[in-house]
Amino acid sequence: MIPSSFSYTAPSTLDEALKVLNELGDEAKILAGGHSLIPMMKLRFAEPEHLVDLNNIPGLSYINIEDGTLNIGAMTRESEMEESGDVQQHFPIFLDAAKLIADPQVRNFGTIGGNIAHGDAANDHPAVMIALGAEVEITGTGGKRTVGIDDFFYGFYATAVEDGEILTEIRVPVPSGKFGNAYHKTERKVGDYATGGVAVQIELDDSGTCTRAGIGLTNVNPTPLRATRSEEALVGTKVTAAEIEAAGQMAAEDCNPSDDLRGDADYKRRVIKALTKRMITKALERANS
């Protein structure tokens, strides 16, 4: 399978890329890792007239912690996330996710920015970012703006990134107190989309009371979904078995899965309930270890 014809530009600076994107408008697509876009182009689900390749622009790939924020450059590869000491120390949730994102070859090229900007509720990082309360930096010719993750996903393949703009950075707050996070999805085989996935971050005060809970769900709604009621069921409690059970039940009730080849909606709700309970438990263990 070969994509239909397109023109290709690989600018060497961000300004040049923005200029080209503004000239081309909605006829252009951004090429990052390409491991979501190119398969779609091969199947002719996507037929952009122009591809603007960001791979030759230096300075878009980095991971650092500054002033209590984990900053991730949008072109950072999944494999670089796996190898980062900052990620390993504070955010094992990314290692949980990385292991389940496609396979090592795909992770060598797939980028974290692309995973989010693709706007697919079946991708894994959107739910993870919801759990972590991330914000996203979007750069246009007029400068940079910041969008909270809850205002980022508009619909199927639609995000807050407008034509002529580029997602340039993801910022994840590093909580000051005790916290733990975890992600898991069920998949039929390596590389398949999730039957369902759950990302959780639990933050605790010194007495072990939950001060914030973030729970994001993968592939059980047209857009990545925050399990708001489940979060509220945990905040202010000691996160005992009763609250975990209630949060799992609420996540199952509040998601909107569809019947497909990965299972029917009822089955997927059960998957979400089981995974929500397990990921809360795992995040809690990590917070306390």
- Residue 196 near other proteins by CB under 8 A: no
- Residue 206 near other proteins by CB under 8 A: no
Question: Residue 58 in contact with residue 42, Cβ under 8 Å?
Answer: no
> From the list 16, 19, 20, 38, which residue makes contact with other proteins (rule: CB under 8 A)?
38
Q: How far apart are CA 249 and CA 244, in angstroms?
A: 9
Token digits for 266? 């009822």
- Residue 1 near other proteins by CB under 8 A: yes
- Residue 261 near other proteins by CB under 8 A: no
Token digits for 228? 């708001």
User: Which listed range, 101-109, 113-121, 144-152, 197-205, lies at the site for other proteins (CB under 8 A)?
Assistant: 101-109
Q: How far is the CB of 249 from other proteins (least distance, A)?
A: 33
DSSP state of 159: E
- The SS3 of residue 261 is coil
Instruction: Give the DSSP H/E element, type plus range, for residue 89.
Output: helix 85-90
State the number of binding residues for other proteins (CB under 8 A). Answer: 30
> From the list 23, 45, 190, 288, which residue makes contact with other proteins (rule: CB under 8 A)?
190
Contacts of 142 (CB under 8 A, 6+ apart): none
Q: Which of 54, 30, 218 is nearest to 118 (CA)?
A: 30
Site for other proteins in 71-100 (CB under 8 A): 79, 99
Nearer to other proteins, 2 or 241 (CB): 2
- Binding site residues, other proteins, CB under 8 A: 1-8, 10, 31, 34-35, 38-39, 41-42, 51, 53, 55, 79, 99, 102-106, 108-109, 190-191
